[in-house]
Structure formats: structure tokens, C-alpha cells
Amino acid sequence: MKTFYKTLMLGVFMTVVAVVSPTFAQDVCTDIEANEALYKKYLENYKGDITKETVAARETAVAAAKEYVEKYANCADYAPQVTYLKKKGPELDELIKKVKLDWEAIARADRFNKAVPTGNAAEIYASGEDVLKYNPDQIDVILVLATVGLDEAADKKNDTFNNKAIDYAKLAIKKIDESAKSDKYGAFGYVYNTKENAIGWMNYTIGYIEFYRQKKEESGLNYLYKSTQVNSDTKNRAFIYAAIGDTFVGPADKLRQEIIEILKKEEKETFESKSKLALSKGYADRAIEAYAKAYEIEKANMAKETDAAKKAASQKYMDGLFTTLKVLYKFRYDTVEKPLAETELVQQLNSHIASVANKPLTSPTAEVKPVDPPTEEEETTDTTTTSSTTTTTTTPAKTGTNGTTDKTTTKPKQR
């Protein structure tokens, strides 16, 4: 009996709920007090700037607008308010999101700005990469990251950031080629001022790290050469040209040794020895060209130097270059028929240096051409005349191509 009674009462209750519920939904439109309270909640919170202190109130206004639209969308009496809040609520919501994104960007930039002056490379990269994650076209940040890696490698001999520095230097070149604009092309102590100077230094960054730290000499030398081909500070770094000259001395001397062995064996000149001599002179020409550039640039730099110690170091460096040039020039031009006396040699060499230095430097990747190679007819002709150049030593003086003898005080440290 009790069970039957409970079941009967439940059925009556469900019937009542079914009847009452539709009436409740319709009463929303007539509940003026609730309507006014919700609209007032929006009005009290939507006005004013969005700051860290007021953002919660603005979000309350957005929530109230959303609730009002959902609750009174079907109420004809409140249609104007619904239309208004349907527009203003989302607008305010988007504005809040934008402001929050701006705050986050400011925080990332602030972190980066605080990191750079500390010299903490790990934090500079972490904060800079966080900036670039959201704004990948920040060319100034990219330039800073490339240069920090260069300073770590060149000044601290820290290779931790080599690959990052190279990647960012390449990215900077790409962005600039794609017309990325900047007022200063860099930031803090890493400012390049012009597009050309930035490109020169980015090529230098890649070349220096590859050539000196990663031992990728061919690729690195090509980037170093590129850094001299634009209107950049880097074109006035003598050791770049000396490094290029060094790469031609080795092959020239190797050929010289091979010629000596042929002469010892055959006891006369042969087509092979003449061919090797012609090619070795071609290498000597290229070395002379590069060393002459280095010599003239170092001389110009020394003329502007006011520090006595640095001036003396430059003079010593130039003396070494000139000694190397004399050896190479004698090897290239001295013969049994026309031997060069010391005075004549120096006079001709000085004139040659001035002439070569005013011409564009040949790319280190360009093919080395032999000088006056023997003809096919000579291949069948035996000769017993031996050129004195085959016994000339071509070992160069130290040219300081490790990048440490040509340092200046301009920021960044390697510039």
C-alpha cells in the first residue's frame, strides 16, 4: 500500500513539473527586476581603460553581456538591449584579448631587454627566441642573437651557440633580402646602422665561425669573402684577405716540391714540371693579390690608429705580410734570365701592391689559372734549362689569420 502511494505521488509531482516548467520559461521576459540587475551589471563594469587593475571588471561586463543575450534573446521588449549587447560584448571581449596579448609581448620584450646587457648568452637566446616565437619578423632581435653567438665564439672561444649564431645570421640575411626594415639594424651594443653593414657582418659571422671554430674552411672562407663585397665595416678587416691568401700558398708550395722531385729524377725540365710551375705561379698570383689587399688595408687602419701599442702591432703585422709578399713575388717573377735584385724587387712589389689593392678581389672559389703554361709542342721537346723559381721558398710569414690581431673596440666586440 505504501509503495503504491509513493508511486502515485511521484506521478502527480512529475505532472505538476511538466505543467509548471513552460510557464517558468515564459516568465523570464516578465522578470523586470532580474533583467535590470543583469543589464546594470554590464553598465557598471564596461567603461574605462583596460589595465591590470580593471581587467577583471571588463571581463565581468563581457560575461554579463553574453548572459543577457542568451537569456533575453526571445523577449521582444528587450530586443534593443539584446542587439546592443550582442555587438558590444564581443567587441569588448576581443579588445581584452588584444590587450592581454600586448601585455604578454611587453613582458617578453622586457625579459629580452633585461637579458642583453647582462651578457648571459643562454638567457639572451631563451628570451630572444621567445620574442621571435610570437613575432618572427623582429629583425633587430635576430641580428642581436647572431652577434651574441659571434662574440661567444670569437672572444670567449665558447662554441655552444655556434649553430644558433649561424642560423640567425642566415635568417637575418634572408629577412633583409626580403626587404625587412629597421631604424638601427640591431639593438643595444649590437647596432649595425645600415642594411649593407648588417649584411656584411652576418656573412662575417657565418664565415668566422665556420672557418675558425668549425674548420669548414672552404665554406667559411666564401662567407668571409662575401663580407668584403658590400659597403660594410667588414671589408676593412685585413686578416680576412690574409686568410684567403693563406689558402693559395699551400698548393703553390706543394707544386714547388713536386717540381723539385721531377727535376731530381729527370735532371731536366719536362712538360710536367713546366705545367706544375705554371700552375704554381697561378696560385702565387692569387696569394699575392689577397696579401696585397691585406697589406694596404692594414696600412690604412694603422694610419687612423692612435694607440701606440696597437700601432706597433699593426706595423709588425704589415712587416710579416710584406716579407711573405717578397717571397711570393720573387717566386712568381724572378728567373735565371731576369734575376731581381733586392732594390728592384721591393720597388716592383710596392708598385704591384698599389695596383692590385685598387682592384676587386677575385673570389677564392674562382678557378686558379696557370701562368704561361707550356704548349703541346713543348711536351715533345726536351730541355735542360732549369728555372731558378723552382727552388724558391714560398713559406709565408705569420699573417695573424686567427682573427685576433685585427680586433677593434667598436661594438659588438668583434667589430
SS3 392: coil
* DSSP conformation letters of 318-374: HHHHHHHHHHHHHHHH--SSSPPPHHHHHHHHHHHHHHHHTSPPPPTTSPPPPSSPP
415 grid coordinates: 667589430
Question: At 194, phi and psi to the nearest 5?
Answer: -125, 160
Q: CA-CA distance, 380 to 116, in Å (whole number)? A: 70
Q: CA-CA distance, 392 to 243, in Å (whole number)? A: 22
151 grid coordinates: 662574440
Q: CA-CA distance, 187 to 113, in Å (whole number)? A: 9
User: Once rounded to an integer, what is the mean pLDDT over residues 161-182?
Assistant: 96
Higher pLDDT, 49 or 395: 49
Span 92-118, pLDDT tens digits:
999 999 999 999 999 999 999 999 999
State the pLDDT at residue 357.
Answer: 79
User: Once rounded to an integer, what is the mean pLDDT over residues 120-139?
Assistant: 96
CB atoms within 10 A of CB 392: 17
Span 279-296, pLDDT tens digits:
999 999 999 999 999 999
State the pLDDT at residue 378.
Answer: 66
Whether residue 402 has pLDDT greater than 60? no
Q: Which residues of 9-30 are buried (b: 16+ CB within 10 A; e: fewer)?
A: eeeeeeeeeeeeeeeeeeeeee
**CATH architecture designation of domain 121-235:** Alpha Horseshoe (1.25)
Residue 78 backbone class (left: φ over 0; alpha: ψ -120 to 50; beta: rest): alpha
Residue 384 Cα distances to 270, 318, 381, angstroms: 9, 40, 10
Whether residue 169 has pLDDT greater than 70? yes
The closest alpha carbon to 172, from 189, 208, 188, 196, belongs to 196
Residue 48 backbone class (left: φ over 0; alpha: ψ -120 to 50; beta: rest): left
Whether residue 258 has pLDDT greater than 80? yes
Asked whether the beta carbons of 99 and 62 are under 8 A apart, the reply is no
- pLDDT band at residue 380, thresholds of 50, 70 and 90? low
* Percent helix / strand / coil, the chain, rounded to 5: 70, 0, 25
- Across 30-39, 56-65, 216-225, 330-339, least confident range: 330-339
- Across 35-49, 115-129, 224-238, 327-341, least confident range: 327-341
Whether residue 163 has pLDDT greater than 70? yes
- pLDDT band at residue 157, thresholds of 50, 70 and 90? very high
- pLDDT band at residue 393, thresholds of 50, 70 and 90? very low
State the pLDDT at residue 358.
Answer: 81
Question: At 186, phi and psi to the nearest 5?
Answer: 135, -175
Assess whether the previous peptide bond of 360 is cis (omega < 30° from 0).
no
- pLDDT band at residue 381, thresholds of 50, 70 and 90? low
Q: CA-CA distance, 176 to 169, in Å (whole number)? A: 11
Task: Output the average pLDDT for the chain.
Answer: 87
Span 2-39, pLDDT tens digits:
444 344 344 444 444 444 444 444 589 999 999 999 99
Q: Quote the pTM value.
A: 0.77
Cell 553581456 belongs to which residue?
65
- Across 110-114, 295-299, 398-402, least confident range: 398-402
Asked whether the beta carbons of 252 and 327 are under 8 A apart, the reply is no
